[in-house]
Amino acid sequence: MLKNKIFFITIAFAFLQTHLALGQLFKKTSDSYSSVGIGAGTSHYFGDLSPYRTFYYAIYSNVRWNGTINYTAQLNSKFAARASVTYLRLFGNDATYGGKLADGKSGINQQRIRNLHFKNDMLEFAVMGLYSFRPLDMNRRKNDGLQWSPYVGLGIGLVSNNPMAKDRITDNTGGILRDKVQSGWTALRNADTETDKKYSSITPVIPLSLGIKTMLKPNLILGIEGSIRFTFTDYLDDVSTGRYSTDALSYRANEDYFALTGKSRLESYMKATGNQAVGSLYPSVDAENHEPRTGFRGSKRNDMYILTQVTLNYIIGSRVKCPPLGQ
**SS3 call for 29:** coil
Cβ count within 10 A of residue 124: 20
Q: What total number of domains does the chain contain?
A: 1
Q: What is the pLDDT of residue 294?
A: 87
Query: Residue 169 sits in a domain of what CATH number?
Result: 2.40.160.20
Question: Residue 137's domain spans which residues?
Answer: 36-317
Q: What is the pLDDT of residue 19?
A: 41
The pLDDT profile of the chain, 327 residues, written as one tens digit per residue, is 444 444 445 444 444 443 444 455 555 556 789 999 999 999 999 999 999 999 999 999 999 999 999 999 999 989 999 999 999 999 999 999 999 888 888 789 999 999 999 999 999 999 999 999 998 877 766 666 788 999 999 999 999 999 999 988 765 555 555 444 556 899 999 888 987 788 999 999 999 999 999 999 889 999 999 999 999 999 999 999 888 988 889 999 999 889 998 888 999 999 999 876 655 688 988 999 999 988 888 888 999 999 999 999 999 976 544 444 444
Q: What is the pLDDT of residue 322?
A: 46
Q: What does the alpha-carbon distance between residue 102 and residue 108 come to, in Å, rounded to a whole number?
A: 6
Quick check: is 29 in a domain? no
Quick check: is 88 in a domain? yes
Backbone angles phi, psi at 245, to 5 degrees: -105, -175
One-letter amino acid of 154: L
DSSP state of 58: G
Contact (CB, 8 A) for 43 and 66: yes
Q: Which helix (H) or strand (E) holds 255?
A: none
Q: What is the pLDDT of residue 181?
A: 52
Quick check: is 150 in a domain? yes
Quick check: is 72 in a domain? yes
Quick check: is 207 in a domain? yes
Quick check: is 28 in a domain? no
Give the sign of the dihedral formed by CA 96, CA 99, CA 100, CA 106.
Answer: negative
Quick check: is 190 in a domain? yes
Q: What does the alpha-carbon distance between residue 126 and residue 70 come to, in Å, rounded to a whole number?
A: 9
Q: What does the alpha-carbon distance between residue 163 and residue 235 come to, in Å, rounded to a whole number?
A: 8
Quick check: is 5 in a domain? no
Contact (CB, 8 A) for 119 and 164: yes
Backbone angles phi, psi at 131, to 5 degrees: -125, 125
Cα-Cα-Cα-Cα torsion 96, 102, 108, 111, nearest 10 degrees, comes to 10
